[in-house]
Amino acid sequence: MRSTSVCRYLTEVEMIDPKRLTATGKSEYQPIDQSATPEALAKNRRIEIILTPKLDELYNLITK
């Protein structure tokens, strides 16, 4: 739910094209810290934003 909230903000407030966003949850499946302490659980409640370039534009920059 955390990642979908961020995606919603980015599309509705920042006007980013929703086709460029994907929401995923990884905390229990790919934890940063595997211990059960409150601090470890807080580390695992996170979002990660991965920026991917438009490959055609990147190619054009490289080939110039």
Q: What is the pLDDT of residue 45?
A: 86
Q: What is the pLDDT of residue 3?
A: 85
Q: What is the pLDDT of residue 48?
A: 82
Q: In total, how many domains does the chain have?
A: 1
Q: How far apart are CA 55 and CA 44, in angstroms?
A: 31
The answer for residues whose C-beta is within 8 angstroms of residue 34's C-beta and 6 or more apart is 40
**Neighbour-count burial for 4-26, b at 16+ CB within 10 Å, e otherwise:** eeebeebeeeeeeeeeeeeeeee
| Owning domain of residue 44 | 2-63
DSSP 21-58: ------TTTS-S--S-SHHHHHHHS---------HHHH
Summarize pLDDT for 5-54 with one digit per residue, the tens: 999 999 999 999 888 888 887 777 889 999 999 999 888 888 888 777 78
